Amino acid sequence: MRSAITLAAASLVGAASAGTPKTCNDYKIPVTVSSTNAVFGLDPFESDFDVADFVTTIASHTPEVSASVLSPFAVNVTETYTISATFCRPGHEKPDPKIENTVLIATHGLNFDRTYWDPQLDKETYSFVDWVLSKGYSIFYYDRLGVGESEQVSGYVAQLSNQVAILAELTKLIKGGHYVGGTGRPSQTVLVGHSFGSAITSEVLRKNKKLVDGVVLTGFSYNSTHLNGLEFLEAAGVRIAAQQQPGKWRQLDTGYLTTVDLFASVTTFFHEGYYDTEVARYVDDHKVPFAVTELLTGHSFAIKPIDFKGAALILSGRYDFPFCMSDCDGVLGNPGASIFSKAKAFKAISLPGTGHGINYHTTAAKSFEKITNFLAANGL
């Protein structure tokens, strides 16, 4: 498999302004995966009028109306995709293949690409990558299918099932010592997700119970009573990305949507008093379109016990809008604790002063600390 590696940056060492010293490799990774995909009764959008009609249709309380969109049929698909990813390890020294290390494998959510984990902002405040490297971990993070520098597919195709299959395959490659900058097989692996990335991570864990040693689900909850998917869709004021910013996204088909403006981004991802307005502008300027079929499948993860015996953490902002209706207190552990009843350790944290976009709040470092403290306390 190493012969298939395309190394875009053989040794990217963080500059002084970038914070923690690190050596990073960028990869283009071919993965062949099989998945059972949903095909929805949805005509391709031609304009934002169609999108507006779509939102009111799926929000209908009349079953036969919403069913016209929400009743898919399934198809089995095997396909090879190219996924763009980055692997970073601490420091500047030449990697030692004999070093045992713990590798975190991070999956971002909707509206973002892999730079969610390492934005071009103050690294000490906002970079999850720099934080975990400073604690001795290595990290692999990637662009989801259809996003960023990964292979582009239709916005009517990318969805939970094929994203799950891709993460599972990437994790197996990492565990086999591939795409880890020459450091060799990791001693332990931990899946880390945010939002839709947490839904992907949860499904990978459910289907591959012995695949990894730990899991961290952020911006996420299993409590279906408080899931706020339709309200998220309405608050985001979704628009066809290629028509909103054709100079930037004309290559995308009409299945790719984006938030309507800065203030829609703030409503869905931030919480008053705990973010910098310039950071909010940065997030809106760097937002990434998401597939309509990701929206339609984003909450189709199973809410039932997972036979996982590693360490499991759910961490969400107290004021998470999409998953907790703006109050995660008392929500994350129910049914989180029963879902991870076989885990060697489980913890649920509702982080004060934080909304859905955890890494972009002024409290971000507090969440990073909670995560690495939990991992360290459980031998990871």
3-class secondary structure per residue, 179-243:
CCCCCCCCCEEEEEEECHHHHHHHHHHHHCCCCCCEEEEECCCCCHHHCCHHHHHHHHCCEEHHH
Say yes or no to pLDDT of 212 above 50. yes
Sheet-wide strand order for 256-258? 239-240, 256-258, 290-291
- Residue 99 has a pLDDT of 60
* The one-letter amino acid at 370: K
d(CA 158, CA 150) in angstroms, rounded, equals 12
Pick the CATH number of 2-377 from 3.40.640.10, 3.40.50.300, 3.40.50.1820, 3.30.1130.10: 3.40.50.1820
- Going by C-alpha positions, the residue among 150, 10, 180, 184 that lies closest to residue 80 is 150
Q: Radius of gyration over alpha carbons of the chain, in Å?
A: 20
Distance from CA of residue 80 to its chain's centroid? 21
Q: Which residue has the higher pLDDT, 379 or 67?
A: 379
Say yes or no to pLDDT of 9 above 50. no
C-alpha distances in Å from residue 257, one per residue of 50, 110, 137, 254, 291: 12, 10, 35, 7, 6
Say yes or no to pLDDT of 16 above 80. no
Q: What is the mean pLDDT of residues 107-132?
A: 98
d(CA 230, CA 327) in angstroms, rounded, equals 17
**Structure-token match 């955890």, residue found:** 358
C-alpha distances in Å from residue 108, one per residue of 68, 245, 331: 30, 22, 22
364: which residues sit within 8 A by CB, 6+ positions away? 125, 126, 128, 358
Inter-residue contact 257 to 51 (CB < 8 Å): yes
Q: What is the mean pLDDT of residues 305-321?
A: 97
| DSSP type of residue 306 | -
Mean pLDDT lowest for which of 67-81, 104-118, 134-148, 295-309? 67-81
Q: How many helical (H) and strand (E) elements, i.e. helices and strands, does the chain have?
A: 15, 12
List alpha helices for the chain, DSSP H: 48-58, 63-70, 123-126, 128-134, 160-175, 196-207, 229-236, 241-244, 246-249, 262-269, 277-285, 292-297, 321-324, 333-339, 364-377
Q: What is the mean pLDDT of residues 294-300?
A: 93
pTM, to two decimals: 0.93
Q: State whether residue 302 is helix, strand or coil.
A: coil
* The one-letter amino acid at 218: T
pLDDT tens digit sequence for 40-61: 988 999 999 999 999 988 877 7
Strand 345-351 to 311-317 pairing = parallel
295: which residues sit within 8 A by CB, 6+ positions away? 110, 229, 233, 238, 257
Inter-residue contact 345 to 379 (CB < 8 Å): no
d(CA 182, CA 184) in angstroms, rounded, equals 6
Mean pLDDT of the chain: 91
d(CA 363, CA 279) in angstroms, rounded, equals 13
- Residue 95 has a pLDDT of 65
Say yes or no to pLDDT of 70 above 80. no
Structure tokens at 18: 């970038």
Q: What is the mean pLDDT of residues 205-213?
A: 96
Inter-residue contact 145 to 156 (CB < 8 Å): no
- Would you list the DSSP string of 49-86? HHHHHHHHHHT-SSHHHHHHHH--EEEEEEEEEEEEEE
Q: What is the mean pLDDT of residues 257-267?
A: 97
pLDDT tens digit sequence for 264-293: 999 999 999 999 999 999 999 999 999 999
